[in-house]
Amino acid sequence: MQTHDEWITGGYEDLELSTQLLAKAALRRGYSVEVLDRGANFIRVSGKDRIEYVRQATRTRADSYISPLVMENKKVTKLILAESGIRVPEGRDYAKLETMLRDFPFWQRQGKIVVKPNTTNFGVAVSILDSPLTLDDFTRACKSAFDEDESVLAEEFIEGKEYRFLVIDGITRAALHRVPANVTGDGASSVGELIEFKNADPRRGERYRSPLEKIRTGAEEELCLRAQGLDFDSVIGPGTTVYLRQNSNISTGGDSIDFTDLIHPGYGDIASASAAAVGAKICGVDMMIADTEAEPDERNYAIIELNFNPALHIHDFPFSGKNRAVEKYVLDALELR
């Protein structure tokens, strides 16, 4: 297990971990690093007749202004990817709640679906609805999404597991599997106690200053447990894993499992092509994959999201797996060699 000293960069401890890692790598290459705005994680890297401004480790001059705007808009992203021959979930977009609710009979016939805001990140207001779909559940999911955005998407649910690919300068540099926040029973401890034990891991912290985020015990976790007939006081059997979230974001307590050397290279090629389609130099590609060892075809994967400000630290200090030291590729892309 990694230790605290491995990821903390002295003098920059209050910055997000990805920014700390980039700063450390720049210092090792002989550049100076000045913090311009600590709250915004805004730094200036200078030396060797070069000056680069970087925010949150991956917002750099390498990407144009329009590329992040494209990735921020899920509707536009899906359109561009589909035109490029890359599979995305089929769905519909809505500007009004009333219009979306009138489509309930259509979505009821589709089986498992996903409802999500058009422009949010970190799994905010994303609902995965099982079949048979009820009007109450659909209405609740739609309202939650419209509370966050004026445009909402409903899509088919893609079977498989979710993987994050990090693409920098046209090449997939790392891949990991994101597992939703979870605990595994020992036959004696309650779910709440298991969460406390898992959160005691020194790698878990808050506000992205540690490799992993602490598992939360809020309303969404309580709702997820209730759907499984459980609560925070429930004792679960030895070896039984209970999930506390539907979304798999590391930001909500999920686990990161490095898959860079385990996944079929064809999926990395698709991730790189996805980034190229939207003109992104630095991009996080979220992909659903049915079988990571099988060669990709037109049905066994789908891109569910592109991210314009992908975290670096999750690839360096995964819950399980190898440190990929991906910050070096950001410096290379900026010609800070």
Task: Write 192-201 long-range contacts (CB < 8 A, 24+).
Answer: 192/217, 192/232, 192/233, 194/236, 195/232, 195/244, 201/1
Per-residue pLDDT at 1: 53
Q: What is the mean pLDDT of the chain?
A: 94
| Residue 261 pLDDT > 90 | yes
User: Sorting pLDDT into bands at 50, 70 and 90, what band is 7?
Assistant: confident
pTM: 0.90
Paired tokens of 112? 């498992």
- Could you tell me the CA-to-CA distances from 235 to 185, 190, 243, 302 in Å, in that order? 7, 4, 14, 36
| Residue 126 pLDDT > 60 | yes
- Could you tell me the CA-to-CA distances from 62 to 52, 282, 305 in Å, in that order? 10, 8, 20
Per-residue pLDDT at 4: 61
How far apart CA 57 and CA 63 sit, in angstroms, is: 13
Per-residue pLDDT at 124: 82
Over range 45-73, report the average pLDDT.
97
**DSSP state for residue 249 in the 8-state scheme:** -
Per-residue pLDDT at 265: 97
Per-residue pLDDT at 223: 85
Any idea which of 85-89, 97-101, 218-222 has the lowest mean pLDDT? 218-222
Any idea which of 116-130, 170-184, 186-200, 242-256 has the lowest mean pLDDT? 116-130
Residue 91 identity: G
| Residue 123 pLDDT > 80 | no
Per-residue pLDDT at 125: 86
Q: Which residue has the higher pLDDT, 250 or 240?
A: 240
pLDDT tens for each residue of 283-316:
999 999 999 999 999 889 999 999 999 999 999 9
Per-residue pLDDT at 248: 82
User: Sorting pLDDT into bands at 50, 70 and 90, what band is 246?
Assistant: confident
Per-residue pLDDT at 2: 58
How far apart CA 304 and CA 308 sit, in angstroms, is: 14
